[in-house]
Amino acid sequence: MEPVSINEKNHNNEGILLSEEEQEKRKKKEELWAKKKYICQVKLIDIKTGKNIVVLNEEEAEENDIYNGYRIMLRHDGNELVSLVDLSTEMVKRGEIGIFRDVADKLDAKDGELLHIRHMEKPASIDFIKKKLDGESLTSKQMSTIIHELMKNRLSEGVLASFIAAVYTRGIGEDETVALTEAIVDSGEKLDLGVGPVADKHCIGGVAGNRTTMVVVPIIAASGIYMPKTSSRAITSAAGTSDTMEVLADVDFNIPELKEIVLKSKGAMVWGGATNIATADDKLIKLRHPLSLDPRGMLLASILAKKSAVGAKYAVIDIPIGRGAKILDMPMAETLGGDFINIGKRMGMTIESLITDGAEPVGNGIGCGLECRDVMHVLQGKGPDDLRNKSTLIAGRILELVGKVPEGHGRDMSELLLSNGGAWGKMKEIIELQGGNPNVKEDDLPIGQYKHTIKAERSGKISHIDNKGVNKIARAAGAPRDKGAGIYLHRLKGDKVKHGDVLFDIFAESETKLDFAIKAVDVWQPVELEKFLLGTMR
Amino acid sequence: MEPVSINEKNHNNEGILLSEEEQEKRKKKEELWAKKKYICQVKLIDIKTGKNIVVLNEEEAEENDIYNGYRIMLRHDGNELVSLVDLSTEMVKRGEIGIFRDVADKLDAKDGELLHIRHMEKPASIDFIKKKLDGESLTSKQMSTIIHELMKNRLSEGVLASFIAAVYTRGIGEDETVALTEAIVDSGEKLDLGVGPVADKHCIGGVAGNRTTMVVVPIIAASGIYMPKTSSRAITSAAGTSDTMEVLADVDFNIPELKEIVLKSKGAMVWGGATNIATADDKLIKLRHPLSLDPRGMLLASILAKKSAVGAKYAVIDIPIGRGAKILDMPMAETLGGDFINIGKRMGMTIESLITDGAEPVGNGIGCGLECRDVMHVLQGKGPDDLRNKSTLIAGRILELVGKVPEGHGRDMSELLLSNGGAWGKMKEIIELQGGNPNVKEDDLPIGQYKHTIKAERSGKISHIDNKGVNKIARAAGAPRDKGAGIYLHRLKGDKVKHGDVLFDIFAESETKLDFAIKAVDVWQPVELEKFLLGTMR
């Protein structure tokens, strides 16, 4: 949204004569200006907001059919700029326009000068979103137009929320999902390694401590397959892969930097947000947030776009199911898993969907530093068993998918790469390339100095450990921002405990946060012992 | 959203001991503050915005799960305030909160002081809207909660857009519509005349020049029935009833003023926006605007709430259908008409739905002053015939509905009240009570001094006059803001014209606007002559 000089009618900014088509475009633009505009006097608000925002008088704007959150086109001398509208009853009077420093600079407009205002042409997306609300299918072009206008900041929050609601209530078909995926890929940068094979993995999420990525990537890279893994940060959980990897190394890299790392080590674990891949997806996720809407087609597009953007041709999708997981039962998981395979195929990817037991946390540590310790133990050929087993399962399937080993041999190969030090060596290589200390020791990991132990209040067998409760307590203790905050589970599901046995420790970096976490234990009671009497009536 | 002092734990602001329930409420509030908050230093922005708005650092806010458009709770010393969040990357740094003068005053907070911030409890509406998106029905309580939280400004634009989309895609049943209607009534003030009978009318809209209300109200009031008519202003048309009535008298009255007028004259024509009746409806209409969504249940609730809020027990609903009208065909009109009758009955109203021909403008004038002249002519016992006929039809049905005359005699009674001067006398009474000049003459009406005549370019029979085109041209000429701007149709549908005959005149208050309107004629071509050859192929 840089200003465009329109002083020279048939020439561009460098004085070069425009093509007839360009001249026609410019003429149409001038007609738009002639048709509908009003003029306001600048009231400069000398603050930088980092956004193109103007404040209009509410009454006057609405008379001109301009509402809160609309986009309008501004013109001053030869400069044009799209701006977001905020309305005010007091701040600006009729005939005035409040502009912040950012807009003033871009338009070169000074206090008291005049600005021309006109409506933006109605975004084409409006009609397409209406069509989707009416239950019709969108063409690829229509779907990509919506994502394009989203990226150009041309759609208001309300219009975008309507789009999410439309996809949620009406669903999108296979063609529409492919179009959405491709549009999301095109919205951001892409990684083109120029070599292969490139593999990837993804977990639908919801399982505490589930840090398989940090085990899988070193195994796969050690086997000679490229795995440029981008991950997210925690939103509602105690730690995301990026938050956890950050304990050992930097995770903020742009695409050229990522390429350099991966061409050297074959593997990388970076934060997707810094790479600018699939940028439309970040916006879509924020839009889905308030109502926690997660329309299946968008979930598919979101995940597969990130795989496609890094050039992956093979991917394993981990779909945890069970009590407290995002996907509740086998039929739902099978439908979703099948969709991944179909849409993946359309995107040129070979995909395997793994449906896993997601009812309990994986590993003993929950929280960045503690999860990192589990990962390090596994990479060094030790436990925790569940993290190790799940990781070698996933890595094994990737090896088979790519054809690196025959069917049925992937897991053994993965175990070998753990036990022979290959994976740990590769991890150290990746840590160093990502700016960390490759000689990191277990004692270097941040573990909160404030600790509280939760003990069993009676004897019995642990029947369930609740992912959500565990996450809430770890977050109350400071995770994921405090790298040393979290929970260490000393006993897992199926273990028999006696009254007074340690169930788990809470770690925090401050006493206050430790107190918050202790209070959260009362609320969430994450460890359940087997009960035989479930209720009584008389 | 006035600040609440919370200094005294078990006493209210006047020092009176709170009930146990109140104390419990207060305790819960304190627990909310203890659980989740962050503290920021005030950066005062010395501007009045007329809204409670704060600016947070984008990164810091999102780490705290606060997004653009969210509501947060602020606390400073003993004061609390709900504020809308704006995010910025540059304007405020981590640890800062930008607050405008309005918020600073209400919280008594000064530059550099500390503010506590916490999440608002999640609005209950979020779950209900999700439920509606899933196709489930809402209870009355849930529906009224949504409207209540809308009125309290607790729902973001995105959440509200999702509500509109949910109602649009899933529809709402009779019970839900009644609940929505009642909630909208309760959102605003109500008129209780204490006398009766009270009647009302409504037109779905879309027909240019359709000023029947200004003829019907004087007839009905003259017959002895109360008709406190609230109307809207034009949104996309050339003139609304309020805009047109404003030519003759004031239309901005609050409920006590409206009551005083109606108790004296039995009739009134005021702008609904000033009365504060059904205020939730204004907000809902704005929300429906960007995508032009008009879910049937909301349309019904919107209209019937306004009738119910003025205490009307009888109403006639005018549903124009046909080419270019809002309702396209008879079956759609019949469904809508039946819904009005059913929901009306549930609200204690007797309703008659009239399905009328809405394909052509009504009357000769389009635009406030010109429509006012048509109305005056009809009230004085003259033409235009179509406006007179449609008005006496509607007034007649109201008289029959209320039981003022036997079935079949309403129209004659209405004609009588026009021809004997009763209606015009009543109109003069209403004009005077609403602060206008009761002795207004035709020559006093504003008619733009700049005029342009559009003539027939060939001979033929007028087959259609397009409502939308006529509105667009009148608006280009300055309507509804310029009271003298508009169109006067010299020939109507069915008339035979010769090449060069006058079709219509355009009036404007400035030469520039007249030019705009002339250009708009080229685009919209509102008068169509009969064509026999519709296409040719070879």
**Would the CB atoms of B290 and A166 count as touching at under 8 Å?**
no
A162 and B160 within 8 Å at the Cβ level: the answer is no
**Nearest partner of A471 among A322, A398, A368, judged by Cα:** A368
Q: Tell me, what's the pLDDT at A409?
A: 96
Residue B6 has pLDDT above 70, yes or no: no
Looking at residue B316, its amino acid is: V
Read off the pLDDT of each residue in B263-279 and give the average, rounded to a whole number.
Answer: 93
Classify domain B199-433 at the CATH class level: alpha beta
- Cα–Cα distance measured from residue B485 to residue B470, given in angstroms and rounded to the nearest whole number: 12
Cα torsion A212, A217, A218, A219: sign: positive
Instruction: In whole angstroms, give the CA distance from residue B50 to residue B70.
Output: 18
Distance from CA of B48 to the nearest CA of A (A): 5
Residue B63's pLDDT band (cuts 50, 70, 90): confident
Q: Which of B51, B126, B290 sits opposite A156 (nearest CB)?
A: B290
CB contact under 8 A, B291 and A481: no
Q: What single-letter amino acid sits at B380?
A: Q
pLDDT tops 80 at residue B180: yes
Of the candidates B44, B81, B87, B82, which has an alpha carbon nearest to the alpha carbon of residue B65?
Answer: B87
Would you state the pLDDT for residue B524? 87
Residue reference for tokens 């890299």: A253
pLDDT (tens digit per residue) in A478-516:
999 899 999 999 999 989 999 999 999 999 999 989 998
Average pLDDT on B515-533 reads: 87
**What is the average pLDDT value for chain A, to the nearest integer?**
89
B79 vs A470, residue with greater confidence: A470
Look at residue B5 in the predicted model and tell me its pLDDT: 42
Q: Do A45 and B48 touch (CB under 8 A)?
A: no
Residue B231's pLDDT is 92
* pLDDT of res. B12: 57
Residues of B in contact with A126 (CB under 8 A): 290-291
What was the pLDDT predicted at A33? 67
User: Is A165–B161 a contact, with Cβ atoms under 8 angstroms apart?
Assistant: yes
Closest CA to B237 of B394, B358, B336, B375: B358
B7 has pLDDT over 70 = no
Between these two residues, B487 and B59, which has the higher pLDDT value?
A: B487
Q: So what's the pLDDT on residue A1? A: 39
Instruction: Kindly give the pairing relationship between strand A71-76 and strand A114-119.
Output: antiparallel
Confidence of residue A35 (pLDDT cuts 50, 70, 90): low
Instruction: For B36, name the nearest residue in chain A, comparing CA atoms only.
Output: A476
On whether any CB of chain A is under 8 Å from the CB of B133, the answer is: yes
**B339 pLDDT above the threshold of 70:** yes
Confidence check: pLDDT of B362 > 50? yes
The total number of residues shown for chain B amounts to: 538
Beta strands in A105-156 (DSSP E): 114-119
How far apart are the C-alpha atoms of B495 and B497, rounded to whole Å?
Answer: 6
Helix (H) or strand (E) holding A528: strand A527-529
Return the CATH class of domain A450-529: alpha beta
pLDDT class of B4 with cuts at 50, 70, 90: very low
Domain A199-284+306-433, CATH 3.40.309.10 — does that match?
no
- B49 interfacial to chain A (CB closer than 8 Å): yes
pLDDT of residue B509: 94
| Residue whose structure tokens are 């190394």 | A249
- A287 contacts on B by Cβ (under 8 Å): 158
Residues B246 and B288: beta-carbon distance below 8 Å: no
Q: Which residues pair with A106 in a beta bridge?
A: none
Prior bond to B197 cis, omega within 30?
yes
Whether domain B20-119 has CATH 3.40.190.10: the reply is no
Residue B34 pLDDT grade (very low, low, confident, very high; cuts 50, 70, 90): low
Name the region of B77 (left: φ>0; alpha: ψ -120 to 50; beta: rest): left
- pLDDT value at B336 more than 70: yes
User: A184-219 b/e with 16+ CB inside 10 Å = b?
Assistant: bbbbbbebeeeeebbbbbbbbbbbbbbbbbbbbbbb
**Which of the two residues, A133 and B291, has the higher pLDDT score?**
A133
CB proximity under 8 Å: B 278-337 to A: 286-287, 289-293
- Distance from the Cα of B29 to chain A's closest Cα (Å) equals 17
Say which residue, A220 or B11, is predicted with more confidence.
A220
Strand duo A38-45 + A114-119: pairing? antiparallel
Instruction: Round to whole Å and give the CA distance between B213 and B245.
Output: 10
d(CA A42, CA A497): 72
Chain A residues closer than 8 Å to B164 by CB: 162
From the list B25, B40, B46, B44, the residue with the least C-alpha distance to B73 is B40
CA dihedral sign, ordered B384, B385, B386, B392: positive
- Catalytically active residues of B, by annotation: 294
Confidence category of residue A34, pLDDT binned at 50, 70, 90: low
Residue B126 phi/psi, 5° resolution? -50, -50
Which positions 484-503 of B are in contact with A (Cβ < 8 Å)? none
User: Range with the lowest mean pLDDT among A150-164, A503-517, B409-423?
Assistant: A150-164
CA A368 to chain centroid: 18
Task: Provide the pLDDT confidence category of residue A32 given band limits of 50, 70 and 90.
Answer: low
pLDDT value at residue B17: 67
What are the sequence ranges of the domains in chain B? Answer: 20-119, 125-171, 199-433, 450-529
SS3 A131: helix
A294 is catalytic: yes
How many angstroms separate the Cα of A286 from the Cα of each of A170, A216, B134? 20, 29, 20
What pLDDT score does B8 carry?
A: 45
Q: Which residues of B touch A90 (CB under 8 A)?
A: 48-50, 102
Place of tokens 């990817």: A349
Task: Catalogue the E-assigned strands of A47-119.
Answer: 53-57, 71-76, 79-88, 96-100, 114-119
In this predicted structure, the answer to whether residue A7 has a pLDDT above a threshold of 50 is no
Residue with tokens 């002249």: B373
Closest CA to B362 of B241, B250, B518: B241
- Tell me what pLDDT residue A51 has: 75
The verdict on whether omega for the bond into residue B123 sits within 30 degrees of 0, i.e. cis, is no
Percent of chain B with pLDDT over 70: 94
pLDDT for the residue numbered A8: 45
Q: Is B48 on the interface with A (CB under 8 A)?
A: yes
Query: What are the distances in angstroms from CA B394 to CA B213, B364, B398?
Result: 9, 19, 6
Confidence (pLDDT) at A4: 43
B358 half-sphere exposure, CB direction, 13 A CA radius: 25
Write down the mean pLDDT value for chain B. 89
Q: Residue A436 carries which side chain, given as an amino acid letter? A: G
- Inform me whether the pLDDT recorded for A292 exceeds 70: yes
CB contact under 8 A, A158 and B287: yes
Residues B266-285, mean pLDDT to the nearest whole number: 90
Compute the distance between CA of residue A319 and CA of residue A327 in angstroms, rounded to an integer. 8
User: What is the pTM assigned to this prediction?
Assistant: 0.82
Q: Copy the structure tokens of residue A217.
A: 């990537």
Burial of B439 (0-12, 13-18, 19+ CB in 10 A): exposed
Taking alpha carbons only, the member of A26, A88, A181 closest to residue B45 is A88
d(C-alpha B321, C-alpha B333), whole Å? 7
Best B35, B57, B91, B101 member to test A by mutation, with max A CBs in 10 Å, is B91
Contact by Cβ (8 Å): A526, A465: yes
Listed in order, strand segments (DSSP E) in A77-231 are 79-88, 96-100, 114-119, 199-203, 227-231
> Which range, of A502-506, B27-31, B108-112, B492-496, averages the lowest pLDDT?
B27-31
ipTM score of complex:
0.80
pLDDT in tens, B295-332: 899 999 999 999 999 999 999 999 999 887 888 889 98
Q: What is the pLDDT of residues A179-229, one digit of tens each?
A: 999 999 999 999 999 998 999 999 998 889 899 999 999 999 999 999 999
Residues in CB range of A536: below 8 A, 6 or more apart = none
Residue A36 has pLDDT above 70, yes or no: no
Taking an 8 Å cut-off on Cβ atoms, the answer to whether A169 and B164 are in contact is no
Predicted local distance difference test score (pLDDT) of residue A22: 72
- How far apart CA B74 and CA A351 sit, in angstroms, is 48
Lowest mean pLDDT among A23-37, A232-246, A310-324: A23-37
pLDDT above 90 for B35:
no
Q: Which of A324-333, A361-370, A463-472 has the lowest mean pLDDT?
A: A324-333
| pLDDT over threshold 60, residue A31 | yes
Whether A94 has its CB under 8 Å from any CB of chain B: the answer is no
Nearest in space to A333 (alpha carbons), one of A362, A301, A387, A296: A296
In this complex, do B169 and A170 lie within 8 Å of one another by their Cβ atoms?
Answer: yes
Q: Which of B189 and A26 is assigned the larger pLDDT?
A: B189
Q: Which residue would you say has higher pLDDT here, A69 or B84? A: B84
